[in-house]
Chain A
Amino acid sequence: MTKNIMIVGVGGQGTLLASKLLGYVLLGQGYDVKVSEVHGMSQRGGSVVTYVRYGEKVYSPVIDRGEADMIISFEKLEAARWLEYLKPGGLIITNTQEMEPMPVVTGAAVYPEELVEKMRAAGARVDAEDFLALAVQAGSPKAVNIVLLGRFSRYFPEITEEDWQQAITAVVPKKFLELNRRAFAMGKGA
């Protein structure tokens, strides 16, 4: 059975590195894996999404509405935007950070309130926390992607700590290795 994970956020938040690391870890578990992303126009501070699919044999590179087992979200509004892609009872891990999109900044739209509660009421399991604060504590706000993966690892006990560490070493640039190890531990442990 193919499993579906979406990584969503705002262009520039480091979603691509997170999907690369996740794909690497899942391949190491012996799964067939497909990772799909969109480059270009959508990266300039726009809404971004990456699809990660794994299983015995994966066909489609994308995840459709009602198919995601899990959504990892770097920003709260983005979690809500992609909610309809989640299966009923699926899990959302979301950063509670709010980044106002331009229509909100200019006053043409409002940033909805109590999104976490509303997503729960709609039938999603939600693990929400200020992961940005944890990243800052680990040493850099840019490490929020690895903090989120640390939290993600809690829900996948079958993937060993050793496998995660090996993947981080393989994917992350060497000079940021220690920072990202700390970030991963903080996400997992918090």
Chain B
Amino acid sequence: MLGNKAVARGMYEAGCRVVSSYPGTPSTEITEEAALYDEIYCEWAPNEKVALEVAHGASLGGVRSACAMKHVGLNVAADPLFTVSYQGVNAGFLICVADDPGMHSSQNEQDSRHYARAAKVPMLEPSDSEEALLFTKRAFEISERFNTPVLLKMCTRVSHSQSVVETGERIVPPQVPYVKDPAKVMMTVNSRNAHVRVEERTRELIAYGESCDLNRVEMGDTSLGIITSSTSYQYAKEVFGEEVSVLKLGLTYPLPEKLIIDFASKVERVVVLEELDPILEDHCRRLGIKVSGKDIFPICGEFSQNLVRECLGKEIPETLRIQDAIPGRPPVMCAGCPHRGIFYVLHKKDCMVYGDIGCYTLGALSPLNAMDLNVCMGASCSGLHGFNKALGAEGERKSVGVIGDSTFIHSGITGITDIAYNMSNSTVIILDNSITGMTGHQQNPTTGKNLRGEPAGKVDLEALCRALGFDRVRVVDPYDLEQVETALEEELAAEAPSIIISRRPCVMIKGTVHGEPLKPKEDKCVGCKACMKIGCPAISVKDGKVKIDTTLCIGCKVCTRMCKFGALQA
């Protein structure tokens, strides 16, 4: 069972009744799998902050609840996280967060374990699917026993690996009655008292961690003792098997003290094996234990068994090689992707493009090269405004923000509000492809459907932008390059804030109507490769003639505008 599916199964078995999340690789399947159980109410929220608040609200209402997000999503949800820690729960409340060491699908590789310590919230770290299921169930128990939210930290290799699990029955605890309690209002004296309780709770959790079965000692040879958690435990066992002694930590905040001191005293040398930051290592040092950690292992990137072998002086397997350079195969926008037309025009006009997070970040790659900057969800709008405040009219006439529909709802609305309110003549392009694409086609508030695909409320993007103070709002079809170019020229020149909505559904959405694949007229092709400038994976030029891969081409005809010789006419 996939690690993320095992978390969903754990939620189901624990009697969880409400899940609210925002999609983000590698966490997305937790919520999609939970939604397959009719007994759990599941929703996509506009962003992670909202999701956490919704799920916590359900906990206060008396039912077990959860939310799931990727590591950078927890930054968005950090505000409620810190105070929910003070306020506590009514029924069990779980926050799943999935890190991405190696940045397979992320813009940074921050270590979420810092949040557990900073917000003083217990964190469980499973190392495979079986533990993902068991730890999820245990998290609800810990949450209720200690009156605290609980973080479940996943990572790409636990979330997206399948391993054997044993499933159980669903047991639904009775709904906890909601009772009004003035101490739950987090202000002044209540918050001061709550902080004292949180510190006391942390001490109780340390005591719990000393003897609970989430932390486990596997004694082997005592010449080397490895302290580890999560997927790093699997690499240690892969390399050493029973050869060494291992302290495997499942509860990684708060960390036990006696257990670690005791383990360290039984082995000759202690090594801390953890991906990203030295959190277990720093804790060991505070306890006065002499350890090796980041002096031998890297802080950056993902671990593997060969890395463990290399850093601990074991032999690495022999490998095979050929001499040729193997060309890279970066991801590309799909054939017929509606974003392509926009990025082609932006490239042609040599605009400064402040991009955002989604499939369209691929617009940065060759041959379109049409993205200058990106930071985080929503920064395309607010960052552009700041950029234009620095450069004035010079920036305003050349620069655009580009943001997808789901990302716009997530964090773009406040950014464009700033543009309208504080008046820069900024131009933001909303790429409305009617879906959350990159994470695997989730619905969002602009699509008119909910997580289960049923009819739902629908944001009217044009009306929303007008209501926020934009007088200039226009809609273009990204397949119509002339229309896009005209709109872009006019809006960049306009002495007013403006929004261009590029509207066409993602070609990968089921039911999107595709045209006939193009049949190039080879006799008209002069081999000039002008058609290659749009970076469509369906187009290639072989032996001086254009070829179309008919299994990929969906007949969007954007390429036909590139060809002066009529070789690509349908």
Interface window among A100-108, A156-164, A179-187: A100-108
* B100-114 near A? 1/0 per residue, CB < 8 Å: 000011000000000
Give which listed residue, B160, B305, B325, contacts A39 with CB less than 8 A.
B160
Given A66-B319, A88-B320: A80 touches B326 (CB 8 Å cut-off) = yes
Q: B328 to chain A: closest CB distance in Å?
A: 6
Question: Which residues of chain B come closer than 8 Å to A78, judged between CB atoms?
Answer: 329
A80 to B323, CA, bound (A): 10
Is B530 in the interface zone, CB < 8 Å from A?
Answer: no
B residues 119-166 near A (Cβ < 8 Å) are 128, 156-158, 160-164
Q: Quick check: is B333 within 8 A (CB to CB) of the other chain?
A: yes
Contacts of A67 in B (CB 8 A): 305, 317
Q: How far is the CA of A108 from the CA of B439 in the complex (A)?
A: 29
A42: CB under 8 A from chain B?
Answer: yes
Residues of chain A within 8 A of B535, CB atoms compared:
102, 105-106
Residues in B311-335 with C-beta less than 8 Å from chain A: 316-334
Chain A, residues 114-139, CB within 8 Å of chain B (1/0): the string is 01001101111000000000000000
Do A44 and B334 touch across chains, with their CB atoms under 8 A apart?
yes
CA A109 to CA B322, docked complex, whole Å: 17
Within 8 A of A (CB), among B1-47: 25-26, 28
The reply to whether the CB of A141 lies closer than 8 angstroms to some CB of chain B is yes
Q: Does A154 contact B (CB under 8 A)?
A: no
Residues A77 and B329 in contact in the complex (CB < 8 Å), given A41-B104, A42-B104, A65-B306: yes
Q: Nearest CB to that of A78 among chain B residues?
A: B329
* Interface check A43, CB cutoff 8 A: yes
A80-98 CB contact bits vs B (8 Å, 1 = yes)? 1101111110100000000
Which of B202-210, B279-287, B360-368 lies at the binding interface?
Answer: B360-368
The answer to whether the Cβ of A178 comes within 8 Å of any Cβ in the partner chain is no
User: Is B298 on the interface with A (CB-CB < 8 A)?
Assistant: no
When the two chains form their complex, are residues B325 and A109 in contact, meaning their CB atoms are under 8 A apart? yes
> Do B551 and A141 touch (CB < 8 A)?
yes
Residues A40 and B326 in contact in the complex (CB < 8 Å), given A45-B332, A45-B537, A105-B532: no
How many residues does chain A have at the interface if contact means C-beta atoms less than 8 Å apart?
60
Name the residue on B nearest A103 (C-beta).
B327
Chain B residues within 8 Å of A44, by CB: 331-334, 359, 362, 438
Inter-chain contacts of B407 with A (CB < 8 A): none
Residue in chain B with minimal CB distance to A106: B367
Tell me which residues across on chain A come within 8 A of B231, comparing CB atoms: 61
- Any chain B CB within 8 A of the CB of A23? yes
Which of A29-37, A145-153, A166-174 interfaces with chain B? Answer: A29-37
The smallest C-beta distance from A15 to any residue of chain B, in angstroms, reads 13
Pick the contact of A103: B160, B234, B328 (CB < 8 A). Answer: B328
Are the C-beta atoms of A40 and B234 separated by less than 8 Å?
A: no
Min CB–CB distance A162 → chain B (angstroms): 22
Q: Does B222 contact A (CB under 8 A)?
A: no
Give per-residue flags for A44-67: 1 if the beta carbon is below 8 A from chain B beta carbons, else 0.
111100000000001111101111
Q: By the criterion CB–CB under 8 Å, are B331 and A62 in contact?
A: no
Taking the complex as formed, is A27 at the interface, i.e. its CB lies under 8 A from any CB of chain B? Answer: yes
Q: Nearest Cβ in chain B — how far from A79, in angstroms?
A: 10
- The answer to whether B162 touches A34 (Cβ under 8 A) is yes
| Interface flags, B156-193, vs A, CB<8A=1, else 0 | 11101111100000000000000000000000000000
Contact B327 A77 (CB under 8 A): yes
Whether, in the assembled complex, B237 has its beta carbon less than 8 Å from a beta carbon of chain A, the answer is yes
- CB contact between A42 and one of B322, B331, B359 (< 8 Å): that residue: B331
Q: Is B75 on the interface with A (CB-CB < 8 A)?
A: no
Q: Are B331 and A36 in contact (CB under 8 A)?
A: no
Asked if A23 and B156 sit within 8 Å, CB to CB, the answer is no
A43 to B104, CA, bound (A): 11
On chain A, the residues within 8 Å of B234 by CB distance are: 59-61
Contact between chains at B330 and A61 (CB < 8 Å) = no
- CB-contacts of B539-570 with A (<8 A): 539-540, 551
Most B CB contacts (10 A, CB to CB) among A23, A44, A85, A123 go to A44
Which one, A61, A66, A103, A111, contacts B163 given CB within 8 A? A61
**Cβ contact of B162, chosen from A10, A23, A80, cutoff 8 A:** A23
**A39 near B157 (CB under 8 angstroms)?**
no
* Interface status of A11 (Cβ within 8 A of chain B): yes
Q: Is the CB of A61 within 8 A of B331?
A: no
Bound complex: CA A36 to CA B305 (Å): 14
A74 to chain B, nearest CB (A): 12
A101 in contact with B238 given A37-B160, A41-B25 (CB within 8 Å) = no
CB of B386, distance to nearest CB on chain A (Å): 27
A residues less than 8 Å from B440 (CB atoms) = 39-40
A112 on the B face (CB < 8 A): yes
A17 within 8 Å of B (CB atoms): no
Q: Residue B304 at the A interface, CB < 8 A?
A: yes
CB distance from B536 to the nearest CB of A (A): 9
Take A77-B327, A80-B324 as given contacts and tell me if A40 and B540 are in contact as well, using a CB distance cutoff of 8 Å.
Answer: no
**From residue B70, how far is it (CB to closest CB) to chain A in Å?**
10
Name the A residues within 8 Å of B28 (CB-CB). 39
For the complex, what is the distance from the CA of A77 to the CA of B104, rounded to whole Å?
21
Closest Cβ neighbor of A51 among chain B residues? B161
* Residues of chain B at the chain A interface (Cβ within 8 Å): 25-26, 28, 104-105, 128, 156-158, 160-164, 231, 234-235, 237-238, 304-306, 316-334, 359, 362, 365-367, 438-440, 532, 535, 537, 539-540, 551
30 A–B contacts from the bound complex (CB under 8 Å): A32-B163, A34-B128, A34-B162, A35-B161, A37-B161, A39-B160, A40-B104, A41-B438, A42-B104, A42-B105, A45-B537, A47-B329, A58-B163, A60-B237, A60-B305, A64-B305, A67-B305, A77-B326, A77-B327, A80-B326, A86-B319, A86-B320, A102-B366, A103-B330, A105-B532, A105-B537, A106-B366, A112-B325, A122-B320, A124-B320
